[in-house]
Amino acid sequence: MRKPLVAGNWKMHTNSSQAQALASSVVSKISSVMDVEVVLCPPFVWLERVASLVRGTGILVGAQDTFWEDWGAYTGEISPLQLSEMCSYVIVGHSERRHIIGETDEIVARKARAVSRAGMVPILAVGELEQEYKEGISKEIVSNQLSAVLSDGWNHEIVIAYEPVWAIGTGLAASALYAQDMAAFIREQLGSYGLNQENVRILYGGSVNRGNFREFIGQKDIDGALVGGASLKAEEFAELVMMASPAMVD
């Protein structure tokens, strides 16, 4: 049985007092939910503060990115070993990094390996662009993104976030059936790389909100969500966590 996971990707939002208020509010609303793994991914500069606010509550902290080397002369970068002092998860390959910053599959793969080496779990984001969706090549794109990370062999924990790029931040989520079809495809692919596919959690991401999440979490191969916009509202984020709780779904 895979434990549902709901991760909030705050992106480059919140100043210090907003970050503190948001984390405190999330803690007060959901610290009693034990059957869902909840991960807050604030900007790097607030990681330590958020980590200390959630300590002891069961809520975990994740980073939105990392560098792939452990130490060295890499001005401006953040080491996975530095992150591992406060983070359990790191998002790698988010579409904003792939398509705005220009990260390649090779870079994403290096980052994923660095995260594992540092003892954390990568949340590997994959997903097709709108044009690729229209061309009907979504599975090919996602399969290449998975292959870049997994084809050299992978025997650590990993979480996959399927996020069609056209659904991110647009208010136009994918249909739950489409997301389920892609998640089932991803699960099958994981098996072909020798992973124990039934144990790997697959999240959906892209305009998840309180109005649509119940449908996504009700799908057989969807184990939670990577949430952007709705994770900035403590009340709505808490509702999503409740919806993911097996106790609530049954």
13 catalytically annotated: no
227 binds ligand PGA (CB under 6 A): yes
CA distance 182 to 249: 22
Site string for ligand PGA, 147-186 (x = CB under 6 A): ----------------x----xx-----------------
63 binds ligand PGA (CB under 6 A): no
92 binds ligand PGA (CB under 6 A): no
Assess contact for 14 and 22: CB atoms under 8 A: yes
Size of the site for ligand PGA (CB under 6 A): 13
Using only the alpha carbons of the chain, give its radius of gyration.
Answer: 17
163 catalytically annotated: yes
226 binds ligand PGA (CB under 6 A): yes
Task: Kindly name the residue from 96, 103, 128, 163 that is annotated as catalytic.
Answer: 163
Q: Which long-range contacts (CB under 8 A, 24 or more apart) does 57-62 make?
A: 57/27, 57/31, 58/31, 58/34, 59/26, 59/27, 59/30, 59/31, 60/87, 60/88, 60/89, 61/86, 61/87, 61/88, 61/89, 62/7, 62/87, 62/88, 62/89, 62/90, 62/91, 62/123
Nearest-CB residue for ligand PGA = 228
Amino acid in position 37:
E
For ligand PGA, the closer CB: 80 or 229: 229
Assess contact for 162 and 186: CB atoms under 8 A: yes
> Looking at 5, 142, 160, 208, which residue binds ligand PGA (CB under 6 A)?
208
For ligand PGA, the closer CB: 27 or 227: 227
CA angle (12 as vertex; 215, 115 as ends), nearest 5: 80
> Looking at 206, 216, 223, 243, which residue binds ligand PGA (CB under 6 A)?
206
Helix axes 234-244, 16-30, angle to 10 degrees: 40
124 binds ligand PGA (CB under 6 A): no
Site string for ligand PGA, 33-62 (x = CB under 6 A): ------------------------------
Binding site for ligand PGA (CB under 6 A): 9, 163, 168-169, 205-208, 226-230
Active site members: 94, 163
